[in-house]
Structure 1
Amino acid sequence: MALTGVRIVLVEPAGPINVGAIARVMKNFGLHNLILVNPQCDPRSPEAMKMAVHAKDILESAVVIPTLPEALQGCVRAIATTARVRDWGTPLETPSSALPWLLEEPDKPSALIFGREDRGLSNEELNYAQRFIRIPTSEVYPSLNLATAVGICCYELAQQVEIAQPQISQQTELAPFELVEAYYQQLESLLLDIGYLYPHTAASRMEKFRQLYNRARLTTNEVAMLRGIFRQVEWVLNNRNDDENL
């Protein structure tokens, strides 16, 4: 049951054979929820179907969505995979250390995000995740095939189900993706209004704020509290402006 809420999200996959192989390995380990973001191939092509073997039902039920934010709607936890080392405050983790976190609220959707075969995920796309995975490989040949990377993570998830189930805690209800995104929009608007942000640098500054809050893993109540502070600040600013005009 813990795996039913985990979405395997592929961003712009280009190879139908890869997509078919991913469907097959998902079914091998009990995952069924495949999301394709702007695929660059036909996920139901003969090549993909042939590679899926007995997992054709996963390809047939796969959801095709134009953008990554839409693919994450409703998710409270998201992990992104990356092969590149970035100078971020959030560390890169191994699948075995990070993936159990996706299972801690089995009744809430979560996402495991994979990037393009040739260049992975962009920095902007990585900003939508709260934790990051890098699969350790040999320095001699570090590059992994996309389907292989998905297979390793699906195996780790399946292995962790029995371990994670007794540790499931309902004490921390993480805020859903769309609520956090609405908070970021409100934060950017307010910071522009007070002159902390400038239009030409807002995107890079907001990227830093996203990284900060993603590390905090905000709960629904915490986002509500932060948005309440913003509403009060906006009220004070508006009333101060009204007083100055008197």
Structure 2
Amino acid sequence: MSNIRIVLVETAGARNLGSVARVMKNFGLKDLWLVNPICDRFSDEAQHMAVHAPEILENARVVDTVPAALVGCHRAIATAGRIDKGEMKVTSPPKGLSWLMQAETSAIVFGAEDRGLSNAEIQHCQQVMRIPVNDDYPSLNLAQAVGVCCYQLQLLKEGLRENSQCHENLTSQIAQDLIESAPIDLATRADLEACYQQLEAVLLKIGYVYPHTAAHRLRKFRHIFDRANLSPSEVAMLRGILRQVNWATAHLD
């Protein structure tokens, strides 16, 4: 599962961070990215909880923003405890992670312990995933949430079945779909973000959106294009159209 990246946003607890490193190594994941971390990955607490996985903390990439953590990724899925994400598609771990594994490089994004992910952070991902839990206490510890996702990835990787016939059929079918799916030539998140920025600039210029409505309208365009699974050549074509529109509006009589 070397193509799966774990992204943690503003992690505050060193013990949580160390526990994440440990559970990642338990399931064979190595690629950890930290967005503006609050705690010190080299602290005694983090190193102690990592046990035999200190190299995951040492090799972690530290960046300032979610888009920076998704550079090189073709698909990204956000995790959320709440389900009120508006137009964003909310999926389950088996379905969401199966979809994620079909891309060459993907990321699972986890929010800060005290607030989760903001809507602005979530919009950089194509889907939102929610781990089903007891509604009376739906807040999972960060390391536990990462562990659940790592375990589900392992199930999908090995095609394992659980005792429950319902879950057995679901896991088996998703694993089979994953095996039969050919690699998809997808544009990276960085390429799509550049396209979205260019689209916003053009729409503002021609008056289709206004500064106070641009963010809301652009979310709709993001959802449309994210569902389309655009290839690099398709993104290049769209950006070429936008450049031509920009040129044409600058040369109107």
- Give TM-score scaled by structure 1 length: 0.90
Change (3 A) 1:32 1:90: same
Where in structure 2 are there 5+ consecutive unaligned residues? Answer: 160-174
Identify unmatched segments of 5+ residues in structure 1: none
The offset of 1:208, in angstroms, is 2.6
Partner SS, residue 80 of structure 1? strand
Match of 1:76 among 70, 74, 77: 74
1:1-246 equivalences in 2 (<5 Å): 3-105=1-103, 108-163=104-159, 164=175, 166-170=179-183, 172-239=184-251, 241=252, 244=253
2-side partners of 1:169 and 1:69: how far apart? 27
The residue matched to 1:211 in structure 2 has which SS? helix
- Number of residue equivalences: 236
3-state SS, counterpart of residue 36 of structure 1: strand
Deviation string 1:66-87 (CA, Å, 9 cap, x unpaired) is 1111111011010100111225
Deviations 1:59-107 (A, max 9, x none): 11111111111111011010100111225333311111110122213xx
Q: Which residue of 1 aligns with 2:163?
A: none
Residues 188-209 of structure 1 show CA distances to partners (whole Å, capped at 9, x for unaligned) of 1110111111123222322232
User: What is the root-mean-square deviation of aligned Cα atoms in Å?
Assistant: 1.6
Contact kept? 1:131, 1:215, Cα under 8 Å: no
Is the contact made by 1:130 and 1:217 (CA closer than 8 Å) also made in structure 2? no
Give the partner amino acid of 1:74: G
Task: Name the CA distance, whole Å, in 1 between partners of 2:128 and 2:155.
Answer: 19
| SS in structure 2 at match of 1:144 | coil
Shift of 1:147: 0.5
Shift of 1:5: 1.5
**Aligned-partner Cα distance in 2 for 1:83–1:22:** 18
> Quick check: 211-220 or 60-69, which moved more?
211-220
Percent identity, aligned pairs only, is 53
Normalised TM-score (structure 2): 0.88
AA matched with 2:42: R
Contact 2:85 2:119 in 1 (8 A): no
